[in-house]
Homo-oligomer: A and B are copies of this chain.
Amino acid sequence: MSNLDINHHTHKQFNTELKDLHNQVLAMGGLVEQQLADALAALTDGDRTRGDAVNNNDYKVNAMDVTIDEECAQILALRQPAASDLRFIVSVIKTTTDMERIGDEAAKIARMAVQLADQERPKNNYAEIEHLGQKAQQMVRDTLNAFARTDAEAALEIAQKDAKVDREYEAVLRQLITYMMEDPRSIRRVLDVIWAARALERIGDHAKNICEYIIYLVNGKDVRHTHPDEIAHELSKEN
């Protein structure tokens, strides 16, 4: 943790607890990242087994969410943290909620992958989804790195990229609607692809939420519902 010093406590046990919590959030993030990668591979490779595995592993993400929340409640009760420690705990509670929902969206993509595995594959082999998926994956990866280093500047940059994911999702959606209109028999199949695209767009939103908690953690400012350019302006005034 570069910007947030959690080694300043006289109580050694408390340091250990905060570091442990930090590591657990990163471990949960790593699992969610893997789930997303597997779900996308299942979709583009038409790999039903891999899709099923993602669904079967979703409970692990949920379990980590519950465990981390319990630990946060414990620390709040026993250590009564203040200032940046308190902000850290609040950020963790919020971050894991969004991570759990990224996991849910990955599981949805995996369910779509399983349904699509049995059906005729389009000529481009879901290239649009693959591309949108790469963008969403990159956002999640960068967000976890920003959390690991408690880097508010990186978090702000990532949050600004969410608009790009949204625009790409809109373009994919328009393309998919055209497919449906050209071949109405494909409607059901294409709708599954639309659900997958929408899940990726939501994953971008959740990553953006986590970035906003990182900024709150570092700067003590709640920047949700604020335009990224405004946030950048606010942060530049402080530095």
Enumerate chain A interface residues (CB-CB to B < 8 A): 59, 62-63, 65-66, 69-70, 72-73, 76-77, 80, 82-83, 86-87, 90, 93-94, 97, 177, 180-181, 184-185, 187-188, 191, 222, 224-225
| Interface contact A63-B225, CB-CB below 8 Å | yes
Known: A181-B187, A225-B62. Contact between A76 and B86, CB under 8 A? yes
Question: In whole angstroms, how far apart are the Cα atoms of A80 and B90 in the complex?
Answer: 14
- Residues on the B chain within 8 Å of A187, using CB: 177, 180-181, 184, 187
- Residues on the B chain within 8 Å of A72, using CB: 90
Question: In whole angstroms, how far apart are the Cα atoms of A157 and B69 in the complex?
Answer: 24
This chain's copy number in the assembly: 2
- Residues on the B chain within 8 Å of A177, using CB: 187-188, 191
- Residues on the B chain within 8 Å of A180, using CB: 180, 184, 187
- With A93-B93, A177-B187, A180-B180 known, 11 other A-B pairs at CB within 8 A are A62-B224, A63-B225, A65-B224, A69-B90, A70-B222, A73-B86, A76-B76, A76-B90, A177-B191, A180-B187, A181-B184
A85 to chain B, nearest CB (A): 10
9 residue pairs of the A-B complex, CB under 8 angstroms, read: A62-B224, A63-B225, A66-B222, A70-B222, A77-B86, A93-B94, A97-B97, A177-B187, A180-B187
Question: In whole angstroms, how far apart are the Cα atoms of A70 and B63 in the complex?
Answer: 28
Question: In whole angstroms, how far apart are the Cα atoms of A62 and B223 in the complex?
Answer: 11
Residue among B83, B184, B222 making CB contact with A77, cutoff 8 Å: B83
Question: In whole angstroms, how far apart are the Cα atoms of A77 and B87 in the complex?
Answer: 10
Question: In whole angstroms, how far apart are the Cα atoms of A158 and B72 in the complex?
Answer: 27
| Interface contact A82-B86, CB-CB below 8 Å | no
Question: In whole angstroms, how far apart are the Cα atoms of A4 and B168 in the complex?
Answer: 48
- Residues on the B chain within 8 Å of A184, using CB: 180-181, 184, 187
- Residues on the B chain within 8 Å of A65, using CB: 224-225
